[in-house]
A = this chain, B = another copy of it.
Amino acid sequence: MTQRHPDDATRVQRHPERGAYDRATIDAILDEALVCHVGFVHEGRPVVIPTIHGHERERIYLHGSPLSRMLTTLADGVDLCLTVSVVDGLVLARSAFDHSLNYRSVVVFGRGQLVDDADEKLHALEVISEHVLPGRWADVRPPTARELAATSVLVLSSEQASAKVRSGPPGDDVRKPPLDTWAGVVPLALTAGTPEADRGTPSGTEVPSYLQGYRRRPGSA
């Protein structure tokens, strides 16, 4: 695992002690976050669009309709910023000022490139699908040639990236009043409810094993 050296764009400026630049940390957060928020400049104004991503080593994949504003803009290779954030908890201090969130975020700067190669395009869609729900891809009908043509895939590098992590209890001075306030952390997580089969699913169809205990953090309890 390479240790990255942050440049002026990626270096975490506020709370530099929360910054992390190693690939393992960055990749784990990219893996866990279900969606990302992609920023780009369209007609001179910033636009931020939520979308699904997938990644494989340093290659981050995005997909969408070739007609979408995001895809048509990004296909030109313009600068983009892809940000993911995972919220881990509310941090409740005794003072309003010291309240915070526990979170892990990654900011990636780069430029997208259209994936033209049919094999890589199909592979990228599998990577995105497996990012959302590992095991699903093998269970479904793969894209037809027509569906592939109706999907654009972009790749960008996660080389220019930084992570920012805040964890643990509040950092305020516990000796200062109000001394009787409950302070601490309320853990938060994106959790799955009971899967709801649609009307086209034959009755009696077992819920696939990859849906049981679905959670975003691989290996977590």
A residues contacting B by CB (< 8 A) are: 9, 13-14, 34-35, 37-41, 44-50, 52, 64-65, 67-69, 79-83, 85, 87, 90, 92-97, 99, 101, 103, 105, 107, 109, 125, 129, 132-133, 136-137, 139-144, 147, 150-151, 169-170, 172, 174-202, 205-208, 211, 214
Smallest CB–CB gap between A25 and chain B, Å?
Answer: 16
Q: Add 18 more A-B contacts to A14-B69, A186-B214 (CB < 8 A).
A: A9-B45, A13-B68, A35-B87, A37-B37, A45-B109, A48-B81, A50-B83, A50-B103, A92-B140, A93-B140, A95-B140, A95-B141, A96-B125, A96-B129, A139-B178, A174-B200, A186-B195, A188-B190
- CB-CB < 8 A to A103: which residues of B? 35, 50
CB-CB under 8 A for A198 and B186, given A38-B48, A68-B14? no
- Minimum CB–CB distance for A206 against chain B, Å: 7
State A193–B88 Cα separation when bound (angstroms). 10
Closest to A211 in B: B186
**Bound CA span A52–B182, Å:** 22
Indicate whether A193 sits within 8 Å of B184 (C-beta atoms), given known contacts A45-B9, A46-B79.
Answer: no
Give every chain B residue within 8 A of A147 (Cβ-Cβ).
95-97
Sample (20) of A-B pairs whose CB atoms are under 8 Å apart = A9-B45, A14-B65, A14-B69, A35-B85, A35-B103, A37-B39, A44-B79, A48-B82, A92-B133, A94-B140, A95-B141, A99-B140, A139-B178, A140-B181, A169-B196, A179-B200, A183-B198, A183-B200, A184-B197, A186-B214
Closest Cβ of chain B to A50, distance in Å, is 4
Q: Which residue of B lies closest to A68 (CB)?
A: B14
- Residues of B within 8 Å of A13, CB to CB, are 67-69
Write the nearest CB–CB distance from A68 to chain B, whole angstroms: 5
| Complex contacts, A200 vs chain B, CB 8 Å | 94, 172, 174-175, 179, 183
- A186 to B140 alpha-carbon distance, docked (Å): 16
Instruction: Give chain B residues whose Cβ lies under 8 Å from the Cβ of A207.
Output: 182
**Cβ-defined partner of A188 (8 Å) among B136, B175, B192:** B192
